Amino acid sequence: MLNPEEFKRLRAEFNKIDTNMSGTIETAELKDAVRKSNMNLSEEEIDQIVKQTDQDENGLINYHEFIAATFPVEKYLTKERVQALFNRFNTDDDDTISKVNFRDAFSKLGIDLSQEEIDGILAEHDLDGDNQITLKEFETMLRANL
């Protein structure tokens, strides 16, 4: 996890961009911050950053979205953590995650996935076409989506 100093630094960066102190970063504020930092990004690139960061799709970047976007995933996504997360999904301990495993794991989280959603996950991330997710495929899926 991030240590308190890293959180403090990220909060300060967020507050620098949130010039009207609304608790959210508006597109105009981000554009102004990019311009002031002499970064060479087009309006379209900045709009794309907002779109990718704005998880609740309200046109604003809140602090949690900002943290998620700036979180150094590679630093914390170790082999051990990937394995531990894989094991949470691999509910029958057979070295792969099946459709049933996805349903069980998400159900324990209070999320009911439809068969179509599960099929979509497998279609996108089952690289060898065996209708199961291996540890390697799972790690690739995590890195692509975090």
The CATH number assigned to the domain holding 58 equals 1.10.238.10
Same domain, yes or no: 28 and 87: no
Same domain, yes or no: 67 and 84: no
The span from the CA of 62 to the CA of 81, in Å, is 27
Domain that holds residue 57: 4-71
Q: What is the reported pLDDT for 65?
A: 87
Same domain, yes or no: 91 and 106: yes
Same domain, yes or no: 53 and 99: no
Residue 30 has pLDDT above 70, yes or no: yes
Average pLDDT over residues 2-18: 88
32 neighbors 19 (Cβ within 8 angstroms): yes
The span from the CA of 134 to the CA of 10, in Å, is 35
Q: How many structural domains is the chain composed of?
A: 2
Q: What is the reported pLDDT for 52?
A: 87
Residue 91 has pLDDT above 90, yes or no: no
91 neighbors 51 (Cβ within 8 angstroms): no
Higher pLDDT, 141 or 97: 97
